[in-house]
Structures are given as structure tokens and as C-alpha cells.
Chains A and B, each alone.
Chain A
Amino acid sequence: DTGVSQNPRHKITKRGQNVTFRCDPISEHNRLYWYRQTLGQGPEFLTYFQNEAQLEKSRLLSDRFSAERPKGSFSTLEIQRTEQGDSAMYLCASSLAGQTQETQYFGPGTRLLVL
């Protein structure tokens, strides 16, 4: 399978715990994005990387959220001291920079439930 992969697919945690999600993009893609989606809404942008550089962060990304892409390949998204409001689907997408109509391809998502 050469698409975007995400692990874990589901995560249940208790409020106050830390969680970390992983995203492996399509291998030749140099851009990687994180989005969050809640029920009945479209995905909302959180942050994006070009290679290993984090180029943009949404105001949605509080201090409890951190993302890394240390070698310009896979990325991790960590949420510290989780809150019930963090419950959502966390989606990763990747794209190849420089295309005329650059297309982002999404992974299957990590569904987080904070109890």
C-alpha cells in the first residue's frame, strides 16, 4: 500500500494523559499536513511541514499540541494533558510541492476519544 498511513487508528485515553499519533506520507511527497475533524464538520487545518520544516501552525494548535517531522519523512503529533474537547478524528495528508493544482491525499485518520 503506497498511500498515507496513520497509527494508531483508534485511541481511547483518560483526560490528562498524553497521546502521540504517527503519520507516514506517500514516499515521494515533501509536504505533510495535520487536520482535525469533529462530527458534522469538515476537517480543520492544524499545521504543515515542507520536508522537516514546520511552516505554518493554526491558532487551533494550543501549547498542548506539538508536531514534528524530524527527518522529513514520517511525522508525529503529540497532545499533552488531553481534554475531552480534544476528542476528534486527526487526519494526516501529504502532497508534492510544485504541481499546478497541488493535491493533498489523506490517510485513514486516528480517532481519539478522551474520557
Chain B
Amino acid sequence: GQQLNQSPQSMFIQEGEDVSMNCTSSSIFNTWLWYKQDPGEGPVLLIALYKAGELTSNGRLTAQFGITRKDSFLNISASIPSDVGIYFCAGDEYGNKLVFGAGTILRVKS
């Protein structure tokens, strides 16, 4: 099946710092998504990207859909303690069958 390579695996950053994570795929996706999962809960959609080259923001979060349709990145600006969690990228090739990356564990040092 399709594989998404998500990096970094984990990050331990200072509160107030900017964070960047990315995802690459060997295949093309029509939609790229970024989710956050808190302990004991299901993933929550943060940002959805629908077009190659699209840059979308949601508060302190910014994500881009790569031009080749095989990659995406997520930036978090001015991180705060509640940003802690696991961030997943996901691709939807067609028909809502999502393929997820392995996740980036974000830990913020206050």
C-alpha cells in the first residue's frame, strides 16, 4: 500500500518557538490533511488542503500542499504548552480512504 514518510519523528521545543514538520509520499494525493491527536482521544482535523500549491492557515498553523502533490508541510508558530500531542499527516487519493503518516510527537518545554 501507499506509504507516507513523516518527519521528524518527535520534537522537543521551547515554548514560543516555531515548529515545522513535513510529509512525503511516493504517490500523488488529491487532498492532504493534517490531524492532531491528544492522549486518549481520536485525531482531530486541523487543516485540509485541496489543490497543489495551496497554502492555508488556521490560527498559528500554516500548511502547504506541495506542487508535485507528493508532499506537504505544517508549521506551528509561537508554540504553546497545549500544542503538545501527536501530529499526523494524511493523504486522500480518492474516495475518502485516508493514508496516514507515522506521526510527529510534539513536546513543548514551558
Q: Say whether A associates with B.
A: no
Residues of A within 8 A of B (CB): none
